[in-house]
Amino acid sequence: MTMEKWMIYVIIGVAVLLLLFFFIVLQRRSRRRLGGSPYTEALNAIINGDEDRALLKLKETVRQDTTNVDAYIKMGNLLRKHGEVARAIKIHRDLTARDDLTPFQQVEIYKGLILDFQAADDPERAIKYVDKLLDMDKRNEWAWQEKLKIYEKSGQWAKAFDTTKKILGRKKEKGPRLLALYKVEEGLFEMAKGQEKEGRIRLREALKIDYTCPPAYLHRGESYFREGRREDAIKEWEKFVKVNPRLSHLVFKRLEENLYEEGKFGQIEELYQGVIDSHPQNARAVIALANFYERKGETETAIEILEKGLEASPGDIPLQRNLIRCYYKQGNTEKVVSLGMEVVESFIEEKESYHCGQCGFTTDEPAWHCRKCGAWDSFLGEVGS
């Protein structure tokens, strides 16, 4: 072999070694950028829902590479989900001190801290980081919704009202129903402190926003009643019936008791008849009017009212139940049997309840804000027994 050929082989060999060296270096650098193999395994575990393994691999990742900010963020989030809220806060808060964060990483860290402090039941600090996030991105819809959620959960209704107005303003929407309900919550808060007048002012503000707002009329009447202002209470509940005839049954008992006390028996009949005339399928109004006559001893009239009600609402169980009772009281056993005594026996202890259309939470009282899932206006379409 000539010297010239030998030199060529040496040069080729050195070139191959250099290429191999650079390949290894680049591969190692690439692994560091990805957090190494443990980080890849952690991401796969998160995708597969194996949070325990993901947490284990994230811890391994940050031991090998303390510059992997994304691994720290994800580790903090998983710790929070596992109930280790204090550790999650420490990890996420320590990350805010770094000066090499990308805008995306800053956003993710603030999101983590917002959720951390909510889990720690610390709404003030959660709001602090929501505001930091909104300072970075005024259009961040997630941040706006979290801010609203925090105010609702902590009962800061005035701030929830203002936040909702801003959200609706950005979307160029109005949303009077929800805004009015926030005012109702403000009013109830004041009343719970014994500030009846201040509470009614808030309820009046709710009605200025949405004149149909059912709980505003309902609670204004109850507030007047607590102060011994029976006539004012009756007026509020009568307004409720006129504005919300579909929900009028919610105040029937209150109105009837107080009109009896005032000796205004004729108004009771007029009240129920007025609802039936405008809404013949309002079975509750039919039953209330029939019961009114039944108590007066006019069972025959009560039966006529119930039979007419069944023509408008065929198969309505409460109507049938009340009609069976009247037939039975009249001694008409044939009609009692034809309608079915089992209806009375099955539903004699019927208790009205209200179910949240979002989470299924049940309450015996009408509600406009679910205390379990936070949904608004989710009960009225789900009335049953």
Residues in the chain: 385
The rounded distance, in Å, linking the Cα atoms of 131 and 1 is 77
What per-residue string of b and e applies to 318-353 under the rule 16 or more CB within 10 Å gives b? Answer: bbbbbbbbbbeeeeeeeebeebeeeebeeeeeeeee
Show Cβ contacts of residue 276 under 8 Å, excluding neighbours closer than 6 positions.
282, 285, 286, 289, 309
Judgement on whether residues 301 and 363 belong to the same structural domain of the protein? no
CATH code of 315's domain: 1.25.40.10
The rounded distance, in Å, linking the Cα atoms of 267 and 141 is 51
- Host domain of residue 372: 351-385
**pLDDT given for residue 88 in this prediction:** 96
**pLDDT given for residue 282 in this prediction:** 92
Residue 322 maps to a domain: yes
**pLDDT given for residue 385 in this prediction:** 35
Judgement on whether residues 160 and 249 belong to the same structural domain of the protein? yes
- Report yes or no: 212 and 244 within 8 Å, Cβ to Cβ: yes
Residue 259 maps to a domain: no
Q: For residue 331, what are its two tokens?
A: 């001694």
Q: What is the pLDDT along the chain (385 residues), one digit of tens a residue?
A: 565 655 665 566 656 566 666 655 555 555 555 444 789 998 898 889 999 999 999 999 999 999 999 999 999 999 999 999 999 999 999 999 998 899 999 999 999 999 999 999 999 999 999 999 999 999 999 999 999 999 999 999 999 999 999 999 988 888 899 999 999 999 999 999 999 999 999 999 999 999 999 999 999 999 999 999 999 999 999 999 999 988 999 999 999 889 888 888 788 888 899 999 988 899 999 999 999 999 888 999 999 999 999 889 888 888 988 988 898 888 888 888 877 765 655 555 555 678 888 887 888 777 888 888 888 877 754 434 3
Helices within 154-298 (DSSP H only):
157-171, 176-192, 196-209, 214-226, 230-243, 249-261, 265-278, 283-295
Judgement on whether residues 96 and 62 belong to the same structural domain of the protein? yes
Identify which of 94, 67, 84, 77 has the alpha carbon closest to the alpha carbon of residue 42. 77
Judgement on whether residues 329 and 232 belong to the same structural domain of the protein? no
Judgement on whether residues 211 and 142 belong to the same structural domain of the protein? no
Q: For residue 232, what are its two tokens?
A: 């004012």
What per-residue string of b and e applies to 100-126 under the rule 16 or more CB within 10 Å gives b? Answer: eeeeebbbbbbbbbbbbbbbeebbebb
Q: What pTM does this model have?
A: 0.74
Residue 292 maps to a domain: yes
Residue 362 maps to a domain: yes
Judgement on whether residues 298 and 343 belong to the same structural domain of the protein? yes
- Report yes or no: 364 and 352 within 8 Å, Cβ to Cβ: yes
Number of domains in the chain: 5
Last residue of a domain, one of 220, 254, 288: 254
- Report yes or no: 358 and 370 within 8 Å, Cβ to Cβ: yes
